[in-house]
Structure formats: C-alpha cells, structure tokens
Amino acid sequence: MSTDAISFVTKAIRSLLVTQMASGSLVTLLPPGEDPPSGSGVNLYMYRTNESPYLKNIDWPGDRSGAPARPEPALSLELFYLLTPFAARPQQNDPEDAAHRMLGQAMLLLHEYPILNRVHLPGFDASSVLPDFLLNSYEDIRIRLHPVSMDELSKIWSTIGKPYRLSVAYEVTLVQLTPTAPPSLPAGLVQSTGLTVVTMSAPRLTSLTPDQGPLASRAGVQSTPTQVVLSGYGFSFPGQTPTVTVGDVAVAITGTPTDRQITVLLPSGLPAGPEEDVRVRVNGRWSQPLSFTVVPWISNLTPIRTALDPTLPADSQLTLSGSGFTNPAEVFGSGVNPSWSVTSFMAGASAGKVAIALPAAATKNSATGSTLRNGFYDVFLRLQDNRLSNARTLEVIPRLNGISGYSPNSGYNSSTGVLNLRGARFDGADVRIIVDGQEYAIGANTNAIQLTQTFTRRLTPGAHTVAVVVDAHNSREIVISA
C-alpha cells in the first residue's frame, strides 16, 4: 500500500462529508482552535495514530492484485480524528446553535456509512474516489465513534494550548503501509576492525562546592541564581548529556561539563527543603545523592490566604517561618502587578521566624485598604548580604464585609430582590456572587468597593451564606439576613 494511504483516507472522509452534508456546508482540515472560515460546517483533524497491536508481527499477505515479493509485516495503523463543528456565534435570542446541526449531520452520516471503501452514493463513489491500493486491500477501512472521556478531550485541547470546544473523536482502522523491498546488494568488504570499551558504571558524586547557601542573590531588582560545582567522576558518556536534579527538580548546566566536574545553576523554587538531594544521571544511571542545604529557607507562611481586612489583625500581618533568617533586610512579593516590598520587621524576629505588616495605604481606590490586588504572590526573604530565600505563595482574595458598618443592604418588590455587597477588590473581568451555594454570574465589574445583584426571585426570609468570586479568587463566606 502506498505511503500516501493516510492522506487519501483523510481526503476521502472529507469528500464524503462535503458531498453528503447539507448544501453549502464547509469541511476544513485546520488544527483545532484555529479560526474557522465564515459559514457553518465541521473541522476534521487527525490528532493521533497508533500501530495496531493485532497485526504487529504478522507477515502481510498481499492484496487482490497479488502476493508480495517477499513476506514481511506491514505497518498497520489506527487513525484517530477530532471532529469539531463551527458556525457563526449564536446571538442572545437565537433559538438554536447552527454548529450543533452541523455536528448532528456529520455524525449521522459517518454512522450510516461506517465502511469507507463500500460507500457508493451520488457525489461520492468509493470506486472512483479511492486509489487502487486501498480498493484492492483485504482490510476494510472502518469509521467508528471513539469513546473518549471529558478528561481525555480536555487533555487534547490543553496539549495544543487552545480553549476547549465541542468535539467528538473517531477511530479509522485499518490502514496498512507496506514498505518497498530494498534491492539486493552484495556484501561490503571489511577493511578494518575496531573495538571501543566504555564502562557502564553509574556516575559518582564526591563533593559539592558550596554545599549550602541561598538559591539566588538579589541586588536591586535583579536576581542571580547560585552556582554549585559538582565534583566526582563518570559524568560523561559518548553521545549522552548528563542530567542534574536538585530536590527532584532538573536544573540548568552552565559551561561545558567534563567527566569529573559539572557546574549548575540552582532553581528559583523547590517544593520541599531545606536539605535537598543532588543527583547526576548519565546513560540511564543515577549517582548516589549528596545534600545541599538551602539557607535561608521559608518553610511556610501564615496566613497563606488573606483578604487584607483591617478589622482582622491576622489578615494584615504575614509571618514567615523557616531557618537562616539572620539579619533580614526585605520581604517582597512578585507575580501580580504591582509587586510589593517591606523592609520593616515586627518585634520578636529570630533566625527561624520573622513577621511583617502587609502593605496598606491604597493607591487605586482609597476604600480598598491595600495596594495589593487579588492574585497569587511569590513571597521571598532577602538578607542584608543579598542572599535570597526560596519562594512561598500568598493569595490575596476579595474582602467581603458583613460587619463594622458594611452589613449587606437588600430591597425587594413583589418579584425581585436586590442585594448590595460592600468590601474591597470587587473589580475584575469575571465576577460572580455565590448565595447558598448557587452561583450568579455578573461579568465585568469596575466598582472595587461595591457589588450589586438583582435576583428574579425574592430570597426567602432568614439567614443566607454569601461569597464573591473575582477572576477565580474566592472571598470568605459571610452570613446575611434577608
């Protein structure tokens, strides 16, 4: 069978859909997530191919045109396609989504004609569409719906880095590729012989220089990762590049490694510590570990989530626990614009614990109570000699007030209810209110201190739990009385 078999099968399935779906329907072969052309139709994309395990080592018997010149296994393939409908985006009052109609037409068509080389319809005749090497095959080309879980579909879309769209998977089997038998050639003449002996022992670490210190140093706003020199032997192997891990995190090698020395840059973050195993892997073999001690090291933050509520002292104070905090100079957070920095420490600081007051004095809205915005911040500690700690994550969440003059107000008429919430950092592109576990989407909100939701039904009298979600960051729940 020709090496063009995969291409012809794809073209034939597309031709079947184009000729048998409703007039004007489009069938494209674009990668998933690409902008489709204007109009309605489906996109057919082959996202995976597998070798059939059932015919892997069975000699190919030939086809109806004759037996092969010499017996050898064929490459028997199973093709997997993603079928994705597209149409103009439906408007608010449209009664249906045209993309759903396109998907139904395509799926029913493939269900009614599951054997591609036996389809004989006006506009599509397999005898004229498919080449002889497919028509002469003893194997039918079968199209079947491939059961794929939502989790598997999500992985396919996340792998290509595109947002998920409605799609179904199909399996097409069996497509066989038979390589052309190479011509017989006379044996070559041996002119010389040689033997290279390479030891297969694992690499061995003897020392780390240094064997303790920071992950990086920071001068101004520039951070420089720490270099560590690994000494030992067996760090090289022909055709292989060594791999170094620190705490199971692969690290960058700087310079040219030799058989006895490798220089690496420490990573900016590690999941555990402060004592980290350092290993070298060469040709599939790992060395025994040596230990590197990270100093300074932040083991945890208290709290890890804060609403920056000025009425709660624990919300405005951040405590770092760990080791090697001697002579602290700065605690700073990055990851969300703007970043922040604090150089004043609360009383009682020690080598294992320091505390700071989180930044206050708002710049964007005086009622927000903080310069910090909602989001995840990587928190670092810098010592006076510029040694930098590992990072720990602090989440700033919306502040929903239910006390101290911020009790929710509500008003009703005969059929609706209006709920006004007050707090801080309510501004965002995707804002939602959760009442008694029921989520209500508001959309974009520009008012940082107030949020209003009108219900199409009245809340029942009594207590209700309320929370706010701003750009996927959840506030704490409060209890209101309707």
User: Of the candidates 370, 308, 381, 312, which has an alpha carbon nearest to the alpha carbon of residue 342?
Assistant: 381
* 411, pLDDT greater than 70: no
Mean pLDDT value across residues 445-453: 83
Check residue 413 and give its pLDDT. 44
Strand locations in 186-339 (E):
204-209, 212-213, 216-219, 222-225, 227-233, 243-246, 249-250, 252-254, 261-265, 275-282, 285-286, 290-294, 297-302, 305-306, 317-323, 328-334
* 21, pLDDT greater than 90: yes
CATH number for the region 401-481 comes to: 2.60.40
CA 187 to chain CA mean position, Å:
52
Domain 297-396 superfamily per CATH: Immunoglobulins (2.60.40.10)
Which has more confidence, 460 or 166? 166
Q: How many CA atoms lie within 13 A of 195 on its CB side?
A: 1
Which has more confidence, 193 or 357? 357
pLDDT confidence band for 111 (50 / 70 / 90): very high
Q: Do residues 238 and 222 touch, judged by C-beta distance below 8 A? A: no
Measured CA to CA in angstroms, residue 71 lies from 51, 65, 120, 184, 446 at distances of 19, 15, 33, 15, 73
Do the first three CATH levels of 5-177 and 204-294 match, i.e. the same topology?
Answer: no
**CA torsion sign, 311 to 316 to 322 to 328?**
negative
Domain ranges of the chain: 5-177, 204-294, 297-396, 401-481
Q: Do residues 469 and 431 touch, judged by C-beta distance below 8 A? A: yes
Greatest Cα pair distance, the chain, in angstroms, is: 101
pLDDT confidence band for 183 (50 / 70 / 90): low
Architecture of domain 5-177: 2-Layer Sandwich (3.30)
Tens-digit pLDDT profile for residues 257-278: 888 899 999 888 787 878 889 9
DSSP 290: E
Tell me the average pLDDT of the chain. 84
Measured CA to CA in angstroms, residue 181 lies from 139, 346, 374 at distances of 21, 80, 65
Check residue 184 and give its pLDDT. 65
Provide the residue type at 21 as one letter.
M
Tens-digit pLDDT profile for residues 116-145: 999 999 999 999 999 888 888 888 999 999
Q: Do residues 347 and 371 touch, judged by C-beta distance below 8 A? A: no
Contacts of 272 (CB under 8 A, 6+ apart): 247
Tens-digit pLDDT profile for residues 268-306: 878 787 888 999 988 888 888 899 999 999 999 999 999
pLDDT cut 90: percent of the chain above it: 30
CATH number for the region 204-294 comes to: 2.60.40.10
Mean pLDDT value across residues 330-347: 86
Rg, the chain, Cα only: 33
Which has more confidence, 50 or 182? 50
Q: Do residues 139 and 174 touch, judged by C-beta distance below 8 A? A: yes
The DSSP bridge pattern shows strands 290-294 and 212-213 to be parallel
Residues β-bridged to residue 302: 319
* 109, pLDDT greater than 90: yes
The DSSP bridge pattern shows strands 290-294 and 317-323 to be unpaired
Mean pLDDT value across residues 147-162: 86
